[in-house]
Amino acid sequence: MKKLIRLAALSAALGASMLSGAWAQVATALPPVQQAGGVEYLSGGIGKDESAAIENATRQWPLTLEFAVKDRQHADFVAGVDVVVRDAKGPTALRATTDGPFLLVRLTPGSYAVDATLDGKALHQRVLVKRGAPAKVVFVWPAGTPVTAESRS
């Protein structure tokens, strides 16, 4: 009986160790947090692990921006998008170029205008960031939008 209990304890400890190792891999898959103009952000999503880590992290960020180009029946993620976020009064809160199809931004609650430019083609959207309610805006350029090799992710 003691051997069975020891075996069960060892098995549980091993399982917990493997689980924490898997969690550490997901946590380390996140790209580094950066800062511009006093606003924290992270950008990425290239590869399955990083993309999954970012998807899991969106709940902790007030604003998530996602970028893609329509391609017949689906959309392809893109990187290298120039993003400008302005608050309701007009001043720029953030200016960044994405390293992948996702941009997570830590903004204070309020109204913002977001300009996203991919290879010279600009899209504009407004977003309301509320305390405790993460917002998500998806930018999809129409099929046929010229995309450089650096923009494909």
Is residue 12 classed as helix, strand or coil in its secondary structure?
Answer: helix
Whether the predicted pLDDT of 18 surpasses 80: no
Tens of pLDDT, residues 73-97? 888 999 999 999 999 888 999 999 9
For residues 9 and 11, what is the distance between their CA atoms, to the nearest angstrom?
Answer: 5
pLDDT computed for residue 93 by the predictor? 95
Residue 147, pLDDT score: 63
Instruction: Return the DSSP state at 133.
Output: B
Instruction: Give the Cα separation of 147 and 120 in Å (integer).
Output: 10
Buried b (16+ CB within 10 A) or exposed e, 64-95: bbbbbbeeeeebbbbbbbebbbbbeeeeebbe
Q: What is the mean pLDDT of residues 96-116?
A: 97
At 28, the pLDDT band (50, 70, 90 cuts) reads low
Q: What mean pLDDT do residues 28-40 have?
A: 90
* Confidence (pLDDT) at 98: 97
Phi/psi-derived region of residue 102, left when phi > 0, alpha when psi is between -120 and 50, beta in every other case: beta
Q: Which CATH code for domain 32-141?
A: 2.60.40.10
Q: Which pLDDT score, from 0 to 100, does residue 3 have?
A: 31
Integer-rounded Cα radius of gyration of the chain:
20
Q: Is the pLDDT of residue 52 over 70?
A: yes
pLDDT band at 143 (very low <50, low <70, confident <90, very high): confident
Mean pLDDT, the chain, rounded, equals 82
More confident residue, 18 or 103: 103
Domain residue spans of the chain: 1-30, 32-141
- Identify the three-state secondary structure at position 146: coil
Q: Residue 150 pLDDT > 60, yes or no? A: no
**Long-range Cβ contacts of 135-138 (<8 Å, 24+ apart):** 135/62, 135/63, 135/64, 136/58, 136/63, 136/64, 136/65, 136/66, 137/63, 137/64, 137/65, 137/66, 138/65, 138/66, 138/67, 138/68
For residue 11, pLDDT over 90 is answered with no
Q: What is the DSSP letter of 152?
A: B
Q: Phi first, then psi: give them for residue 134, nearest 5 degrees.
A: -55, 140
Minimum mean pLDDT range among 7-16, 60-69, 137-146:
7-16
Cα dist from 76 to 22, 45, 140, whole Å: 28, 13, 9
